[in-house]
Amino acid sequence: MLDLARDHNPHLGFGHGVHHCVGAPIARVQLQEAVSALVRRFPGLRAAAPPQWKAGLKTRAPRSLPVAW
């Protein structure tokens, strides 16, 4: 159930095994399409600085990724 008024939960993982998110493949395709659209719209898009990485035991994600075009 989608609850837009739910409390903030920073967890965005797709899970593992029997608890793996059934929507994970479509989310990955959406991300690929979004990045492709950004690159087409802004052909000179590039990182303006190295990414700042979040610390985590199981995940690796940028805290910020400044861009320029």
CA–CA dist 45, 68 (Å, integer): 6
The amino acid at residue 69 is W
17 against 43, higher pLDDT: 43
What six digits make up the tokens of 48? 């303006």
pTM of the model: 0.58
32-60 confidence digits (pLDDT tens)? 999 899 999 999 999 999 988 887 777 77
Q: What is the mean pLDDT of residues 9-14?
A: 66
Residue 15 and residue 21: Cα distance in Å, rounded? Answer: 6
Q: What is the pLDDT of residue 30?
A: 95
Residue-wise pLDDT tens digits, 23-34: 888 998 998 999
Domain range annotation of the chain? 19-68
Residue 1's pLDDT band (cuts 50, 70, 90): low
